[in-house]
Amino acid sequence: MSNSSADFARVYKKFQAPISRKVDCGAKCAPYNEGIPVCCDHDRAVPVADKGEWDLLRKRTDLWSIYTPKNKTEEKEFGGLADGCQSIICKGAKFCERENRTIACRAFPFFPYFTKEKELFGLGYYWGFEGMCWVISNLTIVEKPFIDEMIAACEDIFKKDQDEYDTYVGYSATMRGVFTKKNRKIPLLGRDGKLYFALPDGGAIVPSAKADFTAKLAKFPKFK
């Protein structure tokens, strides 16, 4: 079973909170990226929409179009998407329509982080964007309404989409593997709004004081 366009319309309504009402994070990273917020730069990030989400967006707006892979690596990456999923690009940051952003846009740089026991603990982040996404280096600015809405949106989507659930269970395990290799703790935002680390090896999750948490965050800017 997968989510329909009506399901995505409901999720969109529930997931609107910004990461922070006080900070415009795009203004933090864009100056280092030719004026384009990193997560809106199609050379760096291409959102993928489920079939239901793409059906919804096509009905609501002409903001989005199908992305054509630029090279063989991308052909492989986007050619292997689950049935009906579509890589898409918008017209660019100047034309952003807040209500027609994908779930991927709303959630960036976060993904739902699962424990080894497959429990949805809170928010992990796409570590490949360390040094480029200012938010990743300033996780303590993330506000609780954003965390609540993102967790609720994910739980809603997972109810009908086992593949999506499995993807993030797997992605969380991959993050543990990557950080363990580097002997790093994973900074996590708990669904309770508090700060945590997942420790290397066993992946045990422990609470963190703000100062220690902040000291361990990736440095910004560090562009590749």
Residue 88 in contact with ligand SF4, rule: CB under 6 A: no
Q: Token pair for residue 219?
A: 């440095």
Among 9, 20, 60, 93, binds ligand SF4 (CB under 6 A): 93
Q: How far apart are CA 213 and CA 201, in angstroms?
A: 19
Among 11, 56, 135, 169, binds ligand SF4 (CB under 6 A): 135
Residue 134 in contact with ligand SF4, rule: CB under 6 A: yes
Residue 101 in contact with ligand SF4, rule: CB under 6 A: yes
Q: Which amino acid is at 199?
A: L
Distance (Å) of CA 186 to CA 114, 181, 192, 203, 214? 12, 12, 17, 9, 12
Residue 139 in contact with ligand SF4, rule: CB under 6 A: no
Q: Token pair for residue 170?
A: 């797997």
By C-beta, is 129 or 165 nearer to ligand SF4?
129
Q: Could you tell me which stretch among 72-80, 131-139, 151-159, 161-169 binds ligand SF4 (CB under 6 A)? A: 131-139
Closest separation in Å from C-beta 162 to ligand SF4: 26
Closest separation in Å from C-beta 89 to ligand SF4: 8
Closest separation in Å from C-beta 144 to ligand SF4: 17
Residue 105 in contact with ligand SF4, rule: CB under 6 A: yes
- List, in order, residues 6 or more apart from 9 with CB less than 8 Å away: 56
Q: How far apart are CA 32 and CA 133, in angstroms?
A: 10
Taking each continuous run of H as one helix and of E as one strand, the counts in the chain are 8, 8
Q: Could you tell me which stretch among 33-41, 117-125, 175-183, 209-217 binds ligand SF4 (CB under 6 A)? A: 33-41
Contact, 187 vs 109, CB < 8 A?
A: no
Residue 40 in contact with ligand SF4, rule: CB under 6 A: yes
Among 9, 20, 60, 96, binds ligand SF4 (CB under 6 A): 96
Contact, 192 vs 199, CB < 8 A?
A: no
Cβ atoms within 10 Å, residue 6: 11
Closest separation in Å from C-beta 115 to ligand SF4: 25
Residue 26 in contact with ligand SF4, rule: CB under 6 A: yes
Helix residue ranges, H only, the chain: 5-14, 26-29, 51-60, 72-79, 103-107, 144-160, 162-181, 210-215
**Residues engaged in binding ligand SF4 (CB under 6 A):** 25-26, 28-29, 37-40, 90, 93, 96, 101, 105, 108-109, 133-135
